[in-house]
Structure 1
Amino acid sequence: GILVTRNGAIIYEQNADRQFIPASVLKIGTALAGIRILGKEYRFTTRFYVNGDRDLYIRGLADPLLVSEEVAKIVATLRSRGLSTIRNIVVDDTGCRLENGTDGATNTLNPYDAQNSCLAVNFNTINLVKGADGSVRSAEEQTPTLPLMRELAQGLPSGTHRINATATGNQSLRYVGELFGAMCKKQGVTMRGKIIPGPVPEGLKLFYEHGSSKSLDEVLTGLLKYSNNFIANQLFLAMGAKEYGWPATWDKGQRAMTAFYRNELGLSEKDIVVREGSGLSRQNRVTPKTMLAILEAFKPHAKLLPFENNCLRKSGTMTGVYGYAGYFAGERGLDSFVLMLNQPKNTRDQVLEMLGAIHGAKRKRKN
């Protein structure tokens, strides 16, 4: 399915009303919905509680960018507020109720398959180096070497590996606890106990609520530049919670997206079907004309898309699914184009070159 526009009019189309599996071009729609539902200045939050025994409770609310640098800032703030000693770290992911894993993700070490959680660090991925002698260390200066890294490195060959922390028994909460514990030790906060999964007790007073250092606008830049599936679905869950309340669920995310497309763009399920927000699911469906409507609405935010081969575009790639969606530079602004191929052979660069020629602009064929 393909189409290209010039000055607001479709100048070429093929199978524009047929539904296709979109893969990651769907992230443009997820980003647009995030802007409309949450707002560009929205900041994800994480809540911290301390009881009388000095147990530190961490309650996640789907922050996709709770990375090591952010954790270091949080620990510094906790310390500045008088937290010098803790007993246990209690990790609480009950802000989400995810009975099933991310639709389309598989149980592999591939970081693209990292499962979502209301409380997760570093996109639920671990970056480590395994030496020829079997030694293991963190591959990131900002991330301490953790016991979990040594455990997950067993069976890996020597070299640098970024792996999915949820592939073997879902170690997401353990990863959170170990990282916070290591950061506490590094900054002089003594920890005497262990890491325990569990909910924050009802009535426990909030000690600190951390607002992410990144606004939604910055989150979306990373989402679209790196095509991060984890970020897309944390956003998907947060939108569902914003519209229908916590705990976040896949169903609430689906309902929020369906309502957004219906109310904001006038689209129905014959136009678009969304099961999750990243494009991983092969149950997602969208027509090229629907993708065009999304692109037209996304134009004020077009600069969030990567600029490649003389056009702003988002790619989508899975086995048998190849696509681009974005904008050519036109005489009166941006001209939208959509390219969706559900076929064994990847010919999208040749088709994009053809669309560029139709549009009247020279395009270099992607190497």
Structure 2
Amino acid sequence: MRWMLAIFVAWVMQAQAALPPSLQEALAKAQLPADSVAIVLQPLDGNPPRISHNAGKAMNPASVMKLVTTYAALEALTPAYRWTTDLYRNGSLNQGVLDGDLIIKGGGDPALNVAEFWRLLQQLQQQGVRQIKGNLQLDLSMYTPEVSQRPVLDDEPWRAYNANPSALLLNGRHTSFRFAISHATAKPSVQITPEFELAQIHLINNMRVRKGACHDWRSDLQYSVTPQAEGVTVVFSGSLPEQCDVRYLELSVLSDSQYVFFTFKKLWAQLGGQFNGQLLLAPTPDGATLLTSWLSPPLDSVVRDINKWSNNVMARQLMLTIGWEAGVRPVDEAAAALALKQVLHQRGLQFPELALENGAGLSRLERISAEHLAQLLVTAYHRPVMPVLMASLPILGMDGTLKKRLADGASQGMAYLKTGSLDGVSSLAGYVQDQAGKRYVLVMMVNHPQSAAIRQVQDALLKQVIESQ
């Protein structure tokens, strides 16, 4: 389209950094008022911004706020930081029998998964524990109780992105339900398989196969979740298009403590251990004996998972860790937000409008300006943590949340950007390199009911910045 090329030409020729008329026209075609959009295109060579529109306006950034949290964490904690999960015994241990409780003390690890938990329990058996006569006690005291009771953002409380943090977060507390069309019989059927499978998640499959393409496979899929005394029942109904290959839906249908308890019982039995106790929630007593510990992957790996795939609960755990390491005991999100802002202040980043609720962008309250987000990215670019932060971002047309954006042509691989979206919010921020090797910081945020329409404008601007000579 002619207006796409005009976007680039206009801002190159513009004497000031105002919004070029051609870009105004593109926004009008997308039915987005200019005052609902903030844009900064800042060269990294020290020159003034090429575009600066509504730069000082405080806006909801959605998941682009993860850039603030992950940068602050890299500065405050270092890329080599690791979380610790400890196992204690509260009782005597003789000939493989623990005459007392096993205690798992959560350390806020955002990346603890089932495979690592299995290895931790294997380490426990290597310490001589084979039978546990007492209970499984979980120490979740690192966070205040309110952290795990925050209201969800929308009307889908069971979706994995709405999961609240926990000092002992296992597998993100989510179950991935796998949907596939089976042709094992004359009439095709929908097979649903939970991964990781737990016996306490009771699945009822009322789905059928319908004709058609798989473009909008969720449109006729419904589910209900009914908690029970010993687990939960999940009912799926509706239909799945016959042209779908494997599809997944991630739900968080168990509490953090239930998920750990049920997983422990399953894995402990698979390892040949004996346990018939109950679940207890209490802090670790002073006289408990440390048996073994598990160290998480380093922070640089965790930051990559957070930004590449926009993982909300991991980002929330990360902000809480900043507060914990600043000395807040127990920590909550308000105290963690203050600690994060202090980290920014120490790097000369004073953002009066910055509003942090959970650090993940999964919020209607969080705010930052495009100008200050660009300033943060410029500062980060000149800091030792830059390679880690940049490597954590989705690569245009290649991976993460940008895998399908401008995947063909010269723009592929030329930008490292974090995306963000909520109902009424669409954002994009990160680093762009043109074909001459010049690098820019780009920030674009839209707060408008039709915010999804900005994608075509974003792609056009990216393409012209990268490919035009």
Report the TM-score, using the length of structure 1 for normalisation: 0.88
Contact 2:433–2:466 (Cα < 8 Å) also in 1? no
Deviations 1:285-335 (A, max 9, x none): 100011101211333231210112332111110011001001111445531
CA distance in 2 between counterparts of 1:266 and 1:238 reads: 20
Which of the residues 217, 228, 232 maps onto 2:315? 232
Which of the residues 301, 317, 336 maps onto 2:421? 317
CA distance in 1 between counterparts of 2:192 and 2:264 reads: 17
CA distance in 1 between counterparts of 2:193 and 2:348 reads: 46
CA distance in 2 between counterparts of 1:241 and 1:137 reads: 40
CA distance in 2 between counterparts of 1:210 and 1:348 reads: 44
Q: Does 1:89 align with 2:136?
A: yes
For residue 368 of structure 2, what is the aligned residue in structure 1?
286
Report the TM-score, using the length of structure 2 for normalisation: 0.70
Name the SS of the counterpart of 1:119 in structure 2: coil
For residue 14 of structure 1, what is the aligned residue in structure 2?
53
Gaps of 5+ in 1: 363-367
For residue 301 of structure 2, what is the aligned residue in structure 1?
218
For residue 257 of structure 2, what is the aligned residue in structure 1?
173
Higher RCO (Cα < 8 Å, 6 or more apart): 1
Q: Does 1:153 align with 2:233?
A: yes
For residue 353 of structure 1, what is the aligned residue in structure 2?
459
Which of the residues 319, 338, 355 maps onto 1:273? 355
Aligned AA for 2:251?
I
Q: 1:32 to 1:128 in 2, by over 3 A?
A: same
Q: Does 1:334 align with 2:439?
A: yes
CA distance in 1 between counterparts of 2:90 and 2:192 reads: 34
Contact 2:42–2:374 (Cα < 8 Å) also in 1? no
CA distance in 2 between counterparts of 1:56 and 1:92 reads: 11
Q: Does 1:297 align with 2:344?
A: no
CA distance in 1 between counterparts of 2:268 and 2:340 reads: 39
Please provide the CA RMSD for this pair: 2.6
Aligned AA for 2:118?
A
Q: Does 1:306 align with 2:344?
A: no
Name the SS of the counterpart of 2:432 in structure 1: strand
For residue 365 of structure 1, what is the aligned residue in structure 2?
none
Which of the residues 171, 179, 190 maps onto 2:274? 190
Deviations 1:262-283 (A, max 9, x none): 221331323x221211001111
Q: 1:305 to 1:123 in 2, by over 3 A?
A: same
For residue 50 of structure 1, what is the aligned residue in structure 2?
89
Aligned AA for 2:81?
Y
Q: 1:351 to 1:104 in 2, by over 3 A?
A: farther
Contact 1:114–1:165 (Cα < 8 Å) also in 2? no
Contact 2:105–2:168 (Cα < 8 Å) also in 1? yes
CA distance in 2 between counterparts of 1:54 and 1:22 reads: 49
Aligned AA for 1:156?
F
Range 32-41 or range 97-106, more displaced:
97-106
Gaps of 5+ in 2: 1-37, 92-98, 183-190, 204-230, 241-247, 397-405, 407-411
CA distance in 2 between counterparts of 1:209 and 1:333 reads: 47
For residue 63 of structure 1, what is the aligned residue in structure 2?
109
